[in-house]
Structure 1
């Protein structure tokens, strides 16, 4: 009986689309994918590029995924969409995520984590092939927090524009780490910083509206499903406050999008950025009834609305600022 039940348990396919070889799948989507490791002083980053097969590259986009995720599985669908529009897309698994080095989902020093991804992004951005093209940073969820840190760590002229999908700048009340917990663990002189001991609020269920897509996302073998680490929650709370205090220093053109039914990051994250940023060219889109994962987790008809808005925004900025 044991062997029979073992046979019945479906194996996770190597990719969300099943067993089709990667080259075939990417070619069927109209993109060329390459994967490599980028050496940094803080450890190796797993990186990917998505290049359009049949279009001239008009700009580069540098994408950062959210908490517990990686650049593969369903996140890469965002990368593929942008690539089919004529963009060269580069993405890196954050330290502690996916196939990059680091303790799983430990975000104890987000400035360092952001700087590590930024070192790869700038390496590509200033390469001979791409240095004269417009360049955009893109961050989803907690990746938006890391992306904003990367922006603050860069020279003002480095990036043509910024794009945020449901960024984490304001933590919703149910997600906030208990000050009492953080204080108690803080008394252990940092020993508890890496402990996976904070309450888990089952974020995935609050992020994904489409039940079939929820199943696919939950089956990602590289997704972190453990409890949040003490230092991660401490650091996210600190960096959110830091970003809120520095919204006015944002001067680059940006688009930020959020769903009103987001149970993981507050829509006020996008609204406050829009209100307080000093950028002359800024755009905010709020989608009624949509959840947190606007592209990966909504029904296709909703995701298509968001993608259409993103495409129109970035195409227009390439047109507007491309010759600068």
Structure 2
């Protein structure tokens, strides 16, 4: 028997991966996708015994990856009959790039889009509805992917605690950025910005916090100069362009989110031009709504997401002739 202090190979323990996915009713594949900006590590989660209703393209948050606990979201969607595709964004997980360096978010988004689009326009999925899903900073990345896409590419958007507004305690000091800026970009990749220990503010369930903290691919160093500069710029850019959002969307946020403020979701809801839009706020919930809340809370969020996406597939899917 291995002691509990030993690190498991996976968040669920030492059960072989294929067995675990099969036990969840899902088939998982892993591969690398070549782009001009480097290789992306990608995963798919497909329902084992259900017809595919639509495809969903998922983007994880800062310092995270598509494995470990994030895949719980992917697996849930697959069990509802969705083909789920996810990529570790540049600089994260098993993808290329300097660890957690996001100096050019437009490039990061374009790189993920090149993978998503290759699947979305393939023979298997081009005729089915398609949705973008972004969690936390992945919400900002997904929004940039949406802005870079042809208008009709995506049927709808789903955001979980998205980062569209920088909370005051996350905003990089202008003085600090100015001083680093005097180094003519040499400091851009330095991991020297203040670290606000966000993970403890994101996860409510202490047992889930332990599991998330044990992810061997999670970035735990201080934020890089260019990353904080760029996140501040991108948040402002997205706010300035909320009115360009016309696709149906659902955005969800916990009212006790200590990482991304609920204002992000509220402003999107108020300013987007979409005719079909939904905002759900969960009283007292933290940042990580599906991975970090007690099961009964996470299941409530998942239920709302499932009802929303199922209804949109019914409403906007291929005509039932």
Normalising by the smaller structure, the TM-score range is over 0.9
Q: Indicate if the aligned counterparts of 1:96 and 1:102 stay in contact, CA closer than 8 A.
A: yes
CA drift at 1:174: 1.0
Matches within 5 A, 1:174-189: 174-189=169-184
Picking from 205, 219, 222, the partner of 2:217 is 222
Q: Indicate if the aligned counterparts of 1:12 and 1:221 stay in contact, CA closer than 8 A.
A: no
CA drift at 1:9: 8.6
Mark the runs of 5 or more structure 1 residues left unpaired by the alignment: 1-6
Picking from 54, 70, 73, the partner of 2:68 is 73
Q: Indicate if the aligned counterparts of 1:251 and 1:279 stay in contact, CA closer than 8 A.
A: yes
Picking from 97, 122, 126, the partner of 1:127 is 122
Question: RMSD across aligned C-alpha pairs, in angstroms?
Answer: 1.0
Q: Which residue in the other structure is 2:250 paired with?
A: 255
Task: Work out the CA distance in 1 between the residues paired with 2:286 and 2:305.
Answer: 17
SS at match of 1:46: strand
Q: Indicate if the aligned counterparts of 1:139 and 1:167 stay in contact, CA closer than 8 A.
A: yes
Deviations 1:267-314 (A, max 9, x none): 000000000000000000000000000000000000000000000000
Q: Which residue in the other structure is 2:30 paired with?
A: 35
CA drift at 1:217: 0.2
Q: Which residue in the other structure is 2:56 paired with?
A: 61
SS at match of 2:68: coil
Q: TM-score if structure 1 supplies the norm length?
A: 0.97
In the alignment, structure 1 residue 322 sits paired with structure 2 residue 279: no
Deviates more, 1:12-21 or 1:101-110: 12-21
Task: Work out the CA distance in 2 between the residues paired with 1:64 and 1:301.
Answer: 24
Picking from 230, 233, 255, the partner of 2:228 is 233
Deviations 1:137-192 (A, max 9, x none): 00000000000000000001000000000000001111111111111111110010
Mark the runs of 5 or more structure 2 residues left unpaired by the alignment: none
CA drift at 1:39: 0.5
Structure 1 residue runs of 4+, over 4 Å off? none
CA drift at 1:14: 1.4
Q: Which residue in the other structure is 2:261 paired with?
A: 266
CA drift at 1:323: 2.0
Picking from 107, 113, 122, the partner of 1:112 is 107
